[in-house]
């Protein structure tokens, strides 16, 4: 089972950065730059000048829609994030899939949005799960002032996710559920309980399920400070990237609860004043009140999941619930709807629980599963 995350956004920069790397010989570098220039994707046709920047989409309606989002979000990102400053020449392009270059293989297939600081350009996937939230995430990248660059590894991704969560409350539960689940999966898995009780005889079944993700090594909670999972030049599987995004979100959201974004910004300023390239991991762990152990991070991720997040998790990944229900209710008719008196809960052992009794979507999937099983084999 793969990790479950609604949005995987990335910031672009790897490809761009290598073009401006100092080199002893200028000529080959310029040749590469010229070639890349020729291979830049063409801007989308419909251009709208918004108050906060230029938006380019496929048609006027799309550009107008996104320019409204831009003008709504940009001032709020700047008000929320200490030291934020959006570039004056900011552009937002809406594309099929976000890419800077037309060269094959240079798109980022699993990204819903990218930000290229070199071009002051946000690239959004038209099909993004939540376009507004993706734009908020990329605006946060674009707005982060110089000190924020002292955040190590993938931590900036957690900050941008948190900003998008705070500015887009509609998608917040889904984001939290996905990120916290991914964090738990990166640290060895998420243990859940499904509890079913029948109405007539009070019989109860409990299934203990552990959602498992990709193996992210013994110390993913250390790797998150070293790996730049958000850079498009960093080669990681989608599942592993999600794991690091989840861990970064867990760290930043805990730190922000305790010391605020101001406190996080102060850590960056301290590092800058001390001549450090990066904020030491120990300072961030302290701010988040997290220990440096995989188990501590796994527990912290699970504990942060509440009833709403558990419900969102089941919506994102219903199969483990449908599998269990299919077994439990095999002798019950579903013709008239959810079996009378049957209650269903998904819970964290010793933690939050969400009532799923009578859930229409689960019932529909259960019926579809049965119909499939009754089809003659071909």
Interface mask toward Zn ion for 198-237; x: CB under 5 A: --------------------------------x-------
CB 209 within 8 A of CB 193: yes
Q: Which is nearer to Zn ion, 130 or 359 (CB)?
A: 130
User: Which C-beta is closer to Zn ion: that of 156 or that of 214?
Assistant: 156
Number of residues that bind Zn ion (CB under 5 A): 5
Judge contact between 112 and 81, C-beta under 8 A.
no
CA atoms within 13 Å, Cβ hemisphere of 44: 28
List the one residue out of 114, 85, 104, 149 whose CA is nearest residue 16.
114
Shortest gap between Cβ of 130 and Zn ion (angstroms)?
Answer: 14
Measured from the CB atom, the residue of 160 and 301 that comes closer to Zn ion is 160
Question: DSSP state, 107?
Answer: S
Segment interacting with Zn ion (CB under 5 A) among 11-19, 75-83, 147-155, 348-356: 11-19
Q: Which of 140, 137, 158, 150 is nearest to 283 (CA)?
A: 150
Specify the DSSP element, H or E, that contains 172: helix 172-186
Nearest residue (CB) to Zn ion, 91 versus 157: 157
CB 205, min distance to Zn ion, A: 42
- Residues near 263 by Cβ (< 8 Å), separated by ≥ 6? 255, 256, 287
Binding piece for Zn ion, criterion CB under 5 A, among 10-18, 118-126, 198-206, 259-267: 10-18
Backbone angles phi, psi at 290, to 5 degrees: -125, 140
Q: Does 11 bind Zn ion (CB under 5 A)?
A: yes
Q: Which stretch binds Zn ion (CB under 5 A): 9-17, 89-97, 235-243, 336-344?
A: 9-17
134 binds Zn ion (CB under 5 A): no
Our CB check for Zn ion shows the closer of 9 and 240 to be: 9
User: Binders of Zn ion among 35-74, rule CB under 5 A?
Assistant: none
CB 300 within 8 A of CB 250: yes
Nearer to Zn ion, 101 or 115 (CB): 115
- CB nearer Zn ion, residue 161 or residue 359: 161
Task: Return contacts of 118-123, CB within 8 angstroms, 24+ apart.
Answer: 118/13, 118/16, 118/17, 118/19, 118/20, 119/16, 119/91, 120/87, 120/89, 120/90, 120/91, 121/90, 121/91, 121/92, 121/93, 122/90, 122/91, 122/92, 122/93, 123/12, 123/93, 123/95, 123/98, 123/99
Provide the minimum distance between the beta carbon of 156 and Zn ion in the complex, in angstroms, as a whole number: 7
Q: Mask: binding to Zn ion, 146-165, rule CB under 5 A, as x and -?
A: -----------x--x-----
For residues 121 and 115, is the Cβ–Cβ distance under 8 A? Answer: yes
Tell whether residue 133 is a contact of Zn ion (CB under 5 A): no
Q: Considering only residues 4, 5, 7, 9, which one is a binding residue for Zn ion as defined by CB under 5 A? A: 9
- Residue 230 Cβ, how far from Zn ion at the closest point, in Å? 5
C-beta closer to Zn ion: residue 129 or 323:
129
Largest CA distance in the chain: 82
Of 3-11, 213-221, 290-298, 303-311, which part binds Zn ion (CB under 5 A)? 3-11
By the criterion CB under 5 A, which residues form the site for Zn ion? 9, 11, 157, 160, 230
């Amino acid at each position: 089972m793969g990790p479950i995350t609604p949005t995987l956004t990335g910031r672009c920069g790897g490809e761009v950065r290598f073009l401006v790397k100092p080199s002893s010989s200028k000529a080959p570098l310029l040749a590469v730059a010229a070639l890349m220039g020729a291979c830049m994707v063409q801007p989308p046709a419909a251009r709208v000048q918004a108050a906060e920047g230029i938006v380019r989409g496929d048609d006027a309606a799309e550009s107008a829609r996104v320019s409204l989002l831009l003008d709504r979000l940009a001032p709020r990102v700047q008000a929320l994030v200490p030291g934020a400053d959006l570039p004056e020449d900011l552009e937002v392009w809406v594309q099929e899939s976000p890419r800077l270059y037309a060269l094959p293989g240079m798109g980022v297939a699993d990204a819903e949005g990218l930000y290229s600081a070199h071009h002051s350009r946000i690239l959004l996937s038209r099909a993004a799960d939540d376009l507004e939230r993706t734009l908020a995430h990329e605006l946060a990248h674009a707005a982060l002032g110089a000190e924020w660059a002292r955040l190590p590894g993938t931590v900036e991704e957690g900050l941008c996710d948190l900003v998008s969560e705070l500015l887009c409350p509609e998608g917040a539960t889904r984001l939290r559920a996905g990120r916290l689940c991914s964090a738990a999966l990166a640290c060895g898995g998420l243990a859940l309980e499904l509890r079913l009780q029948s109405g007539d005889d009070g019989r109860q079944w409990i299934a203990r399920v552990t959602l498992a993700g990709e193996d992210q090594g013994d110390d993913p909670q250390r790797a998150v400070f070293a790996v730049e999972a958000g850079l498009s030049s960093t080669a990681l599987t989608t599942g592993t990237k999600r794991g690091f995004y989840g861990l970064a979100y867990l760290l930043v959201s805990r730190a922000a609860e305790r010391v605020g974004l101001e406190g996080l910004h102060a850590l960056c300023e301290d590092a800058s004043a001390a001549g450090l390239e990066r904020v030491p991991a120990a300072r961030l762990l302290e701010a988040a009140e997290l220990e440096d152990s995989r188990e501590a991070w796994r527990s912290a991720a699970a504990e942060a999941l509440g009833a709403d997040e558990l419900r969102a998790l089941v919506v994102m990944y219903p199969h483990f619930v449908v599998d269990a229900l299919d077994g439990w209710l095999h002798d019950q008719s579903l013709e008239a709807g959810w079996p009378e008196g049957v209650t269903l809960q998904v819970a964290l052992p010793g933690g939050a629980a969400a009532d799923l009794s009578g859930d229409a979507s689960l019932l529909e999937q259960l019926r579809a599963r049965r119909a499939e099983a009754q089809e003659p084999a071909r």
